[in-house]
Every structure is written in structure tokens, then in C-alpha cells.
Structure 1
């Protein structure tokens, strides 16, 4: 998955916004002002990577399954994974990781907001 495809995927999720909260070169995707993805573009020979929220047990499984998945960079390593977008993790798997991250974030929002976002997503 390319950074552009990942960006499109994230922005297709209901009420997602994008900004550069951490400075140029890092696109931050939020829902209800809560971060669910941080996309760092390739630079200086380093491939692009995305940091995503993840259920802790699943985070460990993904790290074991894919060498390109590691503990989150500059975030809580128990709840976040960083995925190097070097083509070794299948696009469908990355899609599931992005959607899982989004779902993890909205699960912590107030019930009325959660319900609204889930309805929008199901539509």
C-alpha cells in the first residue's frame, strides 16, 4: 500500500480529518480530534511508515507475523504499532489495521458520538 492509498483509506472513514499536527512530513488522521493514524512520508532513503492504535494482544501478534510491524514510534508501545510501508505487509492487512485503529479510537468516545459514527460507517 502506498502512502497515498493509505491517506485515501483513512480519509474515507467517517468524519476523519487530516492535519500536520506534528510538523511537515507527518500527516495526522483524527476522528473527533483523537488521533488514529500518523503517516510519515518517505525521506532520506527511509520508507514511509504509519503508526496505528491497536489492541495490545493483537499488536504483539502482528509484530510477530510481520517484520515490518514494530512497536509504535514516539507513542505508547503497548497500544500502538508502526508499520513500514515497504510492500511486505499485504494491503488488505494494512486496511484492517487502519480500520481497527479507527474503531479503537471511536470506542473511547461518548456513546452518542460512537453510535453516530458507527451508523455512518455502516451506510
Structure 2
């Protein structure tokens, strides 16, 4: 997947916005103000395509054990975030989309009932 495909996929999710809250390099996708995906544009430009996604801690461990290109989250909580190194071409686009979906769902699970209802 390229950055535009990831951007389009994330922005098509209900309640999603994009922002640069940290610096002009780090593109962040949020659902109702909560982060679910982060991308360093500079790393993409340098040919090091990667995306940080939230994941269930147990699932994170499974993913890291199975895939060489999934590591603990770069500059994130290692328990709850993974970095997917897409430039290594190990992860198929459909699987990346599934992991984006999982991240989005994990963030929604932590929201209040009222917030969840606003997405319906």
C-alpha cells in the first residue's frame, strides 16, 4: 500500500479526521479525537514506509512473533502499539487494512457509550 491508499482507507472510516498534532512530519488519523494510526511522512519519502497502529496487547505479541516486519510501536507504548514496516513487502495490503480496522475498533472500544453512539 502507498501513503495515499492508507490515507483514503483511514479517512473513509466513520468519525475519522487527520491532523499533524506533533510536527509537520507525523500524520495522525483520529476517530473522535483519539489516535488510531500514525505515519511519518519523512520516513515514507526516504523509502521506509511504516505505520503505527494500536492493537490488543496479546494480539500484538502474536503479530510480532509471526511477522518480522511488525515491531513494538516506534515512540509509542510498546504494549498497545505496533509499527508495521511496509517497505519490507511482507504484509499484504488486505492484511494491513485488517490491522487498521483492528486499531480503529480498539480505540472505539475504549470510548464512552455516548461517543460510540455518535458513530452510529
4+ residue stretches of structure 1 with deviation over 6 A?
none
Q: TM-score, normalised by structure 2?
A: 0.91
Q: What is the CA RMSD across the aligned residues, in angstroms?
A: 1.4
Q: Secondary structure at the match of 2:35?
A: strand
Using a 3 Å threshold, how does the CA distance of structure 1 residues 43 and 116 change in structure 2: closer, same or farther? Answer: closer
Pick from 84, 91, 94 the counterpart of residue 93 of structure 2.
91
**For residue 14 of structure 1, what is the aligned residue in structure 2?**
14
Aligned residues: 118
Structure 1 CA distance for aligned equivalents of residues 19 and 74 of structure 2 = 18
Using a 3 Å threshold, how does the CA distance of structure 1 residues 92 and 80 change in structure 2: closer, same or farther? Answer: same
Structure 1 CA distance for aligned equivalents of residues 98 and 111 of structure 2 = 20
> What do residues 101-121 of structure 1 show as CA deviations (whole Å, max 9, x unaligned)?
01111111111221332x3xx
Structure 1 CA distance for aligned equivalents of residues 32 and 12 of structure 2 = 15
Q: Which runs of 5+ in 2 are unaligned?
A: none
Q: TM-score, normalised by structure 1?
A: 0.89
**For residue 79 of structure 2, what is the aligned residue in structure 1?**
78
